[in-house]
């Protein structure tokens, strides 16, 4: 940028900057040309970044959508080599496993978030918990699967059953926990301190204040975070491969192996059969629609309450 001002020396001895250079925008200047080039590059980068979303959605909607029929939800997957069938057991399985995970992770996560923001003095212990929470959020999801395999599946913890829907649910809960704690903590931070003082002032106990004043005031950010965490858990595969395993049959209770859509997609996509590959696309369609709907719901929650 400095070069453009010094340039004047050679062609104009009097070098009156204000006379020589008009204040109007000159697109031919080097700096403005560089500007345009860089803006174009940023535009291309932005286009490249959204391109995969369109391509993936296009294929999932097209390939999966054309298989959409009522039988998809009422039938079992066919044995290898046969045509037809559906993914009914996997749809139920995904809902069930995600539900188990939510039942475990949401109370613990919200409770942990309440402790971090309402009860702890931000001393070494809560700092350690916050730090541990960030580390737990970064633990690869496959490691979560290995961990739950180690403590639940291989030890046959529940009724001497090895692979089970509960094991899968626990693995997903470990995955959801950091998100729920983080969003609860952040959500409670936004609640004005005056609300708590007001509650104590009229004689409410801490428990009543948290339950009736602070938590409801922070409902929106917490609900948004929880919905996003559930959506993420529903699509996870890695923690389920060797915890919930897979089952070609209808669910037989939560202490038995269970089919989920994500594991079905993984198993069926690497099979050399056309019918299985198509069911993988159909399951992708259902899963993506469910997850995108949850994401839009989360957005809607935060938008509605802000208005």
Partner 1 sequence: MQKDSFAPTKADAYTLRRRPPSEKLLDTGFRQLSLVMASMVAIVLISIFLVVFTGARDAIGEFGLSFLTTSGWDPVNQQYGAFVAIYGTLVTSILSLMIAVPLGVGTAILITEDVLPRAIRDAVGLMVELLAAIPSVVLGLWAIFVMEPAIRPALNLLHAWFGWSPFFDTTAQGPGMAPAILILVVMVLPIITAISRDALNQVPIELRQGAYGVGTTRWGAIFSVILPAAVSAITGGVMLSLGRAMGETMAVTMIIGNAINFNTSLLAPGNTIASMLANQFGEADGIQVSALMYAAVILMILTFTVNVLAQWIVRRLSLRY
Cα distances (Å, whole numbers) of residue 75 to 262, 263, 274: 17, 17, 17
| Residue 181 binding partner 1, by CB under 8 A | yes
Distance CA 153, CA 255 (A): 11
Whether residue 230 contacts residue 98, with contact meaning beta carbons closer than 8 Å, is answered with yes
Helix (H) or strand (E) holding 126: helix 124-138
Residue with smaller CB distance to partner 1, 116 or 258: 116
Tell which positions 256-275 bind partner 1, by CB under 8 A: 262, 265-266, 269-270
Whether residue 221 contacts residue 186, with contact meaning beta carbons closer than 8 Å, is answered with yes
- Could you tell me which of 142, 97, 146 has the C-alpha nearest to residue 244? 97
Tell which positions 32-61 bind partner 1, by CB under 8 A: 32, 34-35, 38-39, 41-43, 45-46, 48-50, 52-53, 55-57, 59-60
Tell which positions 237-256 bind partner 1, by CB under 8 A: 237-238, 241-242, 245
Judged by CB under 8 A, the residue of 67, 68, 95, 136 near partner 1 is: 136
Distance CA 263, CA 279 (A): 12
Contact flags string 84-123 toward partner 1, x per CB under 8 A: -----------------------xxx-xx-xxx-xxx---
| Residue 177 binding partner 1, by CB under 8 A | yes
CB of 113 to partner 1, least distance (A): 8
Residue with smaller CB distance to partner 1, 13 or 173: 173
Helix (H) or strand (E) holding 202: none
Tell me how many degrees the CA angle 294-105-288 measures, rounded to the nearest 5: 25
Judged by CB under 8 A, the residue of 207, 272, 304, 307 near partner 1 is: 207
Sole window of 8-16, 66-74, 82-90, 176-184 interacting with partner 1 (rule: CB under 8 A): 176-184
């Amino acid at each position: 940028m400095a070069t453009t001002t010094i340039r004047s020396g050679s062609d104009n001895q009097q070098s009156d900057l204000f006379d020589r250079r008009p204040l109007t925008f000159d697109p031919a200047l080097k700096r403005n040309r560089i500007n345009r080039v860089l803006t174009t590059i940023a535009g291309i980068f932005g286009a490249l970044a959204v391109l995969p979303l369109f391509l993936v959605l296009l294929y999932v909607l097209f390939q999966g959508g054309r298989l959409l029929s009522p039988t998809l939800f009422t039938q079992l997957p066919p044995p290898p080599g046969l045509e037809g069938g559906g993914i009914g057991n996997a749809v139920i399985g995904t809902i069930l496993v995600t539900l188990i995970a939510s039942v475990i992770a949401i109370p613990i996560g919200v409770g942990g978030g309440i402790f971090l923001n309402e009860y702890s003095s931000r001393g070494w212990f809560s700092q350690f918990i916050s730090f541990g929470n960030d580390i737990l959020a970064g633990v690869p999801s496959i490691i979560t699967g290995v961990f739950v395999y180690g403590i639940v599946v291989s030890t046959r913890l529940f009724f001497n059953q090895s692979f089970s829907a509960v094991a899968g649910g626990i693995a997903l809960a470990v995955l959801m926990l950091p998100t729920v704690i983080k969003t609860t903590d952040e959500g409670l931070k936004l609640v004005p301190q005056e609300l708590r003082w007001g509650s104590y002032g009229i004689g409410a106990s801490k428990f009543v204040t948290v339950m009736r004043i602070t938590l409801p005031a922070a409902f929106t950010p917490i609900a948004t975070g929880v919905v996003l965490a559930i959506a993420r858990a529903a699509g996870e595969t890695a923690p389920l491969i060797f915890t919930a395993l897979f089952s070609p049959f209808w669910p037989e209770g939560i202490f038995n192996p269970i089919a989920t859509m994500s594991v079905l997609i993984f198993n069926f996509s690497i099979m050399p059969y056309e019918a299985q590959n198509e069911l993988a696309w159909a399951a992708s369609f259902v899963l993506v629609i469910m997850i995108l709907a949850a994401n839009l719901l989360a957005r809607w929650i935060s938008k509605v309450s802000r208005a």
